[in-house]
């Protein structure tokens, strides 16, 4: 079962409340997304840990229902 | 028969650069794996690859090994580097090439 963009955003926001989240439906099929997550909590944190924080927010859906999520993370400029 | 975690550990530590992917470098079976292969080829580094589609235990085990839910996964000199998005970001910033150099992995281009 694919996930809706809103659900992805809600889950990320619950775990990372200050995040600025931008979800793009890449293929228009509700199954291939790109997400950009910007949060102060990422400052000074290695990329792998930033991505792991987002994956943790998605509670095991990443890699299962959510196969195709292209992820970009950053601290605010 | 050794357990999947030790087999994965041996592979990760036994190769300078190893990519766990879906399919083979010649015939990647998913867009993310294909992108990861292209990035490594652009860096000009030699790398070993493991096709997780050929081994369900490794396919599941690698996610636990690195606490990372998706494939591909890149390891350099025993350290987990990231998935294809991180590889792309690092490549575009020149960081992946720098990492290879820093770790003493020979590159022919980049």
**Cα of A5 to nearest chain B Cα, Å:** 19
Q: Do B69 and A47 touch (CB under 8 A)?
A: no
CA distances, A11 to each of A17, A68, B38 (Å) = 10, 16, 32
Q: Find the chain A residues whose C-beta atoms sit closer than 8 A to any C-beta of B.
A: 47-48, 51-52, 55, 60, 62-64, 67-68, 70-72
Instruction: Read off the pLDDT of residues B27-56 as tens digits, 9 standing for 90 and up.
Output: 999 999 999 999 999 999 999 999 999 999
Residue B78: closest CA among B30, B26, B14: B14
Give the mean model confidence (pLDDT) for residues B84-98. 95
pLDDT at A52 over 70: yes
Give the mean model confidence (pLDDT) for residues A16-43. 93
Q: What pLDDT sits at residue B110?
A: 46
Q: How far is B2 from A39, CA to CA, in rounded Å?
A: 42
ipTM of the complex: 0.83
B68 in contact with chain A, both atoms CB, cutoff 8 A: yes
């Amino acid at each position: 079962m694919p996930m809706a963009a809103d659900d992805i955003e809600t889950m990320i926001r619950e775990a990372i409340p200050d995040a600025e989240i931008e979800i793009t439906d890449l293929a228009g099929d509700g199954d291939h997304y790109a997400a950009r997550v910007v949060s102060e909590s990422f400052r000074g944190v290695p990329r792998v840990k930033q991505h792991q924080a987002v994956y943790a927010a998605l509670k095991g859906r990443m890699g299962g229902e959510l196969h195709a999520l292209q992820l970009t993370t950053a601290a605010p400029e | 028969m050794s357990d999947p975690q030790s087999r994965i550990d041996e592979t990760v530590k036994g190769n300078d650069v190893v990519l766990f992917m879906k399919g083979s470098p010649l015939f990647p079976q998913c867009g993310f794996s294909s992108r990861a292969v292209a990035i490594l080829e652009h860096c000009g580094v030699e790398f070993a690859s493991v096709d997780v589609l050929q081994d369900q235990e490794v396919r599941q085990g690698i996610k636990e090994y690195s606490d990372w839910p998706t494939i591909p996964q890149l390891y350099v000199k025993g350290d987990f580097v990231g998935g294809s998005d991180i590889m792309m970001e690092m490549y575009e910033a020149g960081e992946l090439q720098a990492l290879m150099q820093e770790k003493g992995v020979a590159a022919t281009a980049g």
